Chains A and B, each alone.
Chain A
Amino acid sequence: MTELRYLAPDTLDEAIGAFAAAGSAARILAGGTDLLVQMRAGSVKPGVIVDIKKIAEMTAIEQTADGSFRIGAAVSGAVLSEHPRFGKVWPGVLEAVNLIGSTQVQGRASAGGNLCNGSPAGDSVPAMVAAGATVTLQGPNGRRELPVEQVPAGPGRLNLLPGEILVSFTLPPRPKGSSDAYLRMIPRTEMDIAVVGVGVSLTLMDGLCTAARVGLGAVAPTVLLVEAAAKALIGSKLDDAALNAAASACSAACLPIDDKRGTIAYRTKVAGVLLKRTVAIAASRAERN
């Protein structure tokens, strides 16, 4: 049996050095709400655990002068919800992050972990995609940025290079009249995995939708950016014709699985229904901004 080593470096360089050196035996520990469950189940047997929570950049929330937010990969949902401004600017991203698990899980779980777990049903991911968030990755060969929608490669798989660590999310500055929302469909009211999740971010100017992005979760091997749905919304007054077209685009983008939570037909239909509901919430928020 291989001995497990636990490392909690103070700097990103040390973390990357240790993570890269250990290769596929290494796992990153942020909140641990997926990793510890996987270790317990025996599906993951790490040789090295690199705890990133002592690295200042990983746990920081910063708002820059232009209004963009930078959120460390290990910031917990509970900490993000207590930030005085983040939830006002990005209520949809915040509600999505806060839907991950229970109060106890919120005390530890992070958006970075939710993305890197690679689940197509991760709640924060469609909202981050809709927000136009990018991630900063750092590895042995330096830093790079990637749009969130390009991070997942399939269930449990990521487009990260060997030794790369997710450092932070960057959410862009918000023009006036912008807001976002996230809705998920689950068979119960709390503590379940999304059957469909929809994130919408939009900008309204005198009732006209001038910008929109739609993220769709749990209906394909990865979370999807549905450009056709956004296109149907942009330039409209979010009238029925535009909403129907956007809903159809969401349903058309679905490549779901049948499972105990929902059939292919159900998920495909609900994707369109949820799109309309999510747009309505995002629009009512945007009108107040």
Chain B
Amino acid sequence: MAKLHVSTTINGEPAEFLCEPNDTMLDALRGQLGLTGSKEGCASGDCGACSITLDDRLVCSCLMLAVEAEGHELGTIEGMAHGDKLHPLQQKFLELAALQCGICTSGMLVASDALLRKNPRPSEEEVRFWLAGNLCRCTGYDKIVRAVLETAAEMREQGIKESVQ
């Protein structure tokens, strides 16, 4: 059977790819599209390492069929920095060492960005609940939570309303 042709938008740019009907979006991103920033941890929606946005809504790309991307807009970790200029969340994760092995990091960043777009002034509890679906086996989470809260405070201070598409 012929592969399915999908036309979509990824990080603001039009993108096309071919896929099998049972390919997940994560398969297509990491395979056909060569966007390997999204990681596969559990492949069952538990760990959040494959987090992307689908029409600005945070989802696990492992729980989405690639063919479902047709006509929609995806956002991945690759769209977060502006060229060499890191997103404030990325910069803060580095400054606070909010990562060790890095497998969870792109998912943490995509999820945190989605939170700050929705809620620029989250409480610590809100950050922890929002990120409950992003597992990290290294950091113990405190540095990650602190990095998100500090980034939120700095972005509010600097009036950075829009993060990178």
Contact = CB atoms under 8 A, between A and B. Distances in A.
Which of B46, B59, B64 is most buried by chain A, counting CB atoms within 10 A of its CB?
B59
A109 B20 CA distance: 23
Contacts of A160: none
B54 interface: yes
Interface size class of A (residues with CB under 8 A): 20 to 34
Contacts of A257: none
Given A78-B57, A103-B111, A103-B132, A108 B21 contact: no
Given A32-B64, A32-B65, A40-B43, A104 B21 contact: no
B59 A40 contact: no
Contacts of B60: 33, 104-105, 108
Nearest to B132: A190
B58 A103 contact: yes
A104 B65 contact: no
Which of B60, B62, B67 is most buried by chain A, counting CB atoms within 10 A of its CB?
B60
A107 interface: yes
Interface string B63-78: 1110110100000000
A38 to B, nearest CB: 10
A8 B67 CA distance: 10
A21 interface: no
Interface in A31-73: 31-33, 36-37, 39-41, 49, 51, 53
Contacts of B20: 4
Contacts of A5: 21
B18 to A, nearest CB: 13
B22 interface: yes
Contacts of B44: 37, 40-41
Interface string A137-173: 0000000000000000000000000000000000000
Interface string B122-165: 00000001111110000000000000000000000000000000
A123 to B, nearest CB: 15
A104 B63 CA distance: 9
Interface size class of B (residues with CB under 8 A): 20 to 34
Contacts of A4: 20-22
B51 interface: yes
A49 B64 contact: no
B88 interface: no
A36 B24 CA distance: 8
B65 to A, nearest CB: 7
A108 B111 contact: no
A191 interface: yes
Nearest to A33: B63
Interface in A213-233: none
Interface of B: 1, 4, 20-22, 24, 43-46, 48, 51, 54, 57-60, 62-65, 67-68, 70, 111, 114-115, 129-134
20 contacts: A6-B67, A8-B67, A32-B68, A33-B60, A33-B63, A36-B45, A36-B62, A40-B43, A40-B44, A49-B65, A53-B68, A78-B57, A102-B45, A102-B48, A102-B133, A104-B45, A105-B63, A107-B59, A108-B60, A190-B129
Q: Which 7 residue pairs of A and B lie closest in terms of their CB atoms, listed nearest first? A: A102-B133, A6-B21, A190-B132, A107-B59, A107-B57, A104-B60, A4-B21
Given A4-B21, A4-B22, 18 more contacts: A3-B21, A6-B65, A6-B67, A32-B64, A40-B44, A102-B134, A104-B51, A104-B58, A104-B63, A104-B133, A105-B45, A105-B60, A105-B63, A105-B133, A107-B57, A107-B59, A190-B129, A190-B132
